[in-house]
């Protein structure tokens, strides 16, 4: 004989079964969308994330070819047509989390999230291409060469890399997977603006960000301006 408990358990199993089918079909539809748009990434998972700057949605992506992951933090409603305040922040473990003074990354990350939090709407793409795409260990090797007097560009070249190995088309794909087509981009790097525009993202405005300059990173920021085309008021006015 079936009791109430059996009926309930059957119902729960039935719901779990259908939820799994729903999850699978959602994943399949996202993979088909990525294939149709010829995207390099898949949108894999998302969850609510409370932060000091407000509550957001954290979205995880995976590169189809390599399985490397990236994330987006989505604040507020980005489904409305107004351009979204946004920053592509390339991973810098030393600057973002270990308080390094060799660069301005941690300050830029904090200032961006603060600005987005104040607007109550925006997207931070956390682009996990550490050390301008050369990886953490090679970044440390580059730092060792900088200890001997090379600048950040010369060090990358000596290690056999380009000055900047990052692939920003991945970021255009993340925007597309989030449904974002127009942004106000927080950056000093005009290359990011050009690549996004070519990839079909409408960058309606470049929002400068100049924070975290100190005695240890002054030369690094100067080289970024002179050799990598970054736009800093302090450097470019010289």
Q: Which residues bind Zn ion (CB under 5 A)?
A: 92, 95, 103, 105
Dihedral sign from CA coordinates of 231, 68, 106, 171:
positive
Of 164, 173, 184, 218, the active-site residue reads 164
Catalytic residue status for 77: no
**Given the complex with Zn ion, which of 103 and 209 has the nearer CB atom?**
103
In the bound complex, what is the minimum distance in angstroms from residue 211's beta carbon to Zn ion?
12
**Given the complex with Zn ion, which of 95 and 122 has the nearer CB atom?**
95
Distances (CA, A) of 52 to 79, 96, 114, 144, 166: 23, 15, 9, 35, 29
Of 43, 87, 132, 166, the active-site residue reads 166
CA distance linking residue 134 with residue 126, whole number of Å = 16
Structural tokens at position 116: 């987005």
CA distance linking residue 155 with residue 148, whole number of Å = 10
Structural tokens at position 221: 């920021």
Catalytic residue status for 164: yes
**Coil vs helix vs strand at 84:** strand
**Given the complex with Zn ion, which of 95 and 133 has the nearer CB atom?**
95
**Given the complex with Zn ion, which of 103 and 177 has the nearer CB atom?**
103
In the bound complex, what is the minimum distance in angstroms from residue 51's beta carbon to Zn ion?
20
CA distance linking residue 230 with residue 187, whole number of Å = 9
The residues with which 74 forms a beta bridge, in sequence order, are 57, 123
**Coil vs helix vs strand at 75:** strand
User: How are beta strands 182-186 and 202-207 bridged, if at all?
Assistant: parallel
In the bound complex, what is the minimum distance in angstroms from residue 105's beta carbon to Zn ion?
3
**Coil vs helix vs strand at 150:** coil
**Given the complex with Zn ion, which of 107 and 176 has the nearer CB atom?**
107
Count other Cβ atoms within 10 Å, centred on residue 90: 23
In the bound complex, what is the minimum distance in angstroms from residue 101's beta carbon to Zn ion?
10
| Residues carrying an active site annotation | 164, 166
């Amino acid at each position: 004989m079936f009791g109430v408990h059996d009926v309930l358990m059957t119902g729960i199993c039935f719901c779990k079964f259908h939820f799994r089918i729903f999850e699978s079909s959602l994943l399949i539809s996202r993979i088909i969308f990525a294939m149709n748009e010829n995207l390099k990434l898949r949108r894999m998972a998302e969850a609510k994330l409370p932060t000091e700057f407000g509550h957001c949605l954290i979205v995880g992506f995976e590169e189809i070819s390599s399985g490397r992951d990236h994330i987006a933090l989505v604040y507020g409603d980005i489904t409305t047509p107004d351009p979204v305040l946004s920053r592509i922040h390339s991973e810098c473990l030393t600057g973002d989390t270990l308080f390094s003074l060799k660069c301005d990354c941690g300050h830029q990350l904090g200032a961006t999230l603060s600005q987005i939090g104040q607007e109550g709407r925006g997207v931070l793409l956390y682009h996990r291409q550490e050390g301008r795409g050369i990886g953490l260990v090679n970044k440390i090797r580059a730092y060792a060469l900088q200890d001997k007097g090379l600048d950040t560009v010369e060090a990358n070249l000596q290690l056999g890399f380009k000055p900047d190995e990052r692939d920003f088309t991945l970021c255009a794909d993340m925007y597309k997977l989030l449904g974002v087509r127009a942004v106000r981009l927080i950056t000093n790097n005009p290359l990011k603006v050009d690549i996004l525009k070519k990839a079909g993202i409408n960058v309606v405005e470049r929002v400068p960000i100049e924070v975290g300059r100190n005695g240890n990173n002054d030369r690094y920021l100067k080289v970024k301006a002179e050799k990598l085309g970054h736009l800093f008021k302090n450097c470019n006015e010289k």
